[in-house]
Structure 1
Amino acid sequence: MEFPNQEPESSSNKKTVRGKIEIKRIENTTNRQVTFCKRRNGLLKKAYELSVLCEAEVALIVFSSRGRLYEYANNSVRSTIERYKKSCADSSNPGSVTEANAQFYQQEATKLRRQIREIQNLNKHILGEALSSLSFKELKNLEARVEKGITRIRSKKNDMLFAEIELMQKRIAENENSEQQQSSIMQAAVYDQSVPSQSYHRDFIRVNLLEPNH
């Protein structure tokens, strides 16, 4: 049964559904190169995010079909490959893996101790201690750092003082307003007490009392 008034559905109203890309070699050279560039950039970005977010050691090596090399490493590609080879060689020997882990933690502990010593020396230098080991350039840099820190401290102190003064002035103004209101209330109460309250009948006449003999 036909409906003459019904218009055919236009192709623009049809919803386009993106299908899955078939994983096989792209025959078209241009499309293959464009896809390579997009996927390569995405892969490099994911490797960078993994190394930063998870603090992982990442090394990525990509060779294009034309032989061009693309690589990324947050440490060093060569050192990561050497670490990988060593890990593969030691995987068959559990004792070697334990020894490697112990060596890694020792290196980390040594690094942390060195950082602690540097921070302690810096604190001593800021306090004006152990300055004999510093050169003229180091002393100049230390002086600039201390002056910059003093400037920040004074600025923060002045901000706190101004805030405290403003708060005290606000409290004084509030106390003065409260005292004025109380004084006005007291004056009004005294005035009300000084004025006698008399009520007279409309037929009552005030007269002076006469002497008894009059």
Structure 2
Amino acid sequence: MKHPLILASSSPFRQSLLQKFNLPFDTFSPDIDESALECETPTELVKRLSELKASAANKHFNKGLAIGSDQVAVFNNQILGKPHNKQNAVKQLNLFSGNTVTFLTGLCVYDIVTGTKKTCVEPFDVTFKILSDVQISAYCDAEQPYNCAGSFKSEGLGICLFEKLSGDDPNSLIGLPLIKLSQLLTEFGIDVLTAQNKF
């Protein structure tokens, strides 16, 4: 293939999504500070972090297209990241119960050789059912979604938390908007459909 693909993520969820393209890729774990800057909007944050993750490939590879992605949940204009433990996950899910939450996923494709990058931010709205404390606790115990923005895994039992989903690409909710990624790769000269037999 003209450009090797590199996924700037150690997330098994993002890796399994990228495997849907049926193209070979390498992975690495970008070691970046994911803290928000003062006065940074949620859109600016995920855009910046996806670009930082992709450009971190410079430290590990000398050529290829690096794919960086970052996601936050936004509720009442507040950025909500990964809960990291059950207590925070329960708090988030109680907050979301009966409400609509917007998930923003930043996506960046970065050409290591030329330094060219293309970035977009994909929104996705999730309306949660009205959830009881017992349901929330049981869900957290069952799936332990503590490393997931929003405290759920939509590809698993987390789908039962929702009343409605609204967005262009359900894959963005898992952390990698494949429709947009396919479009960005095309801009770099990789047509995912016709690249199948070129490796």
Q: TM-score, normalised by structure 1?
A: 0.16
Q: If each structure's strand is expressed as a fraction of its own residues, which one has the higher value?
A: 2
Bigger relative contact order (CA 8 A; separation at least 6) = 2
Q: TM-score, normalised by structure 2?
A: 0.17
Larger of the two Rg values belongs to structure: 1
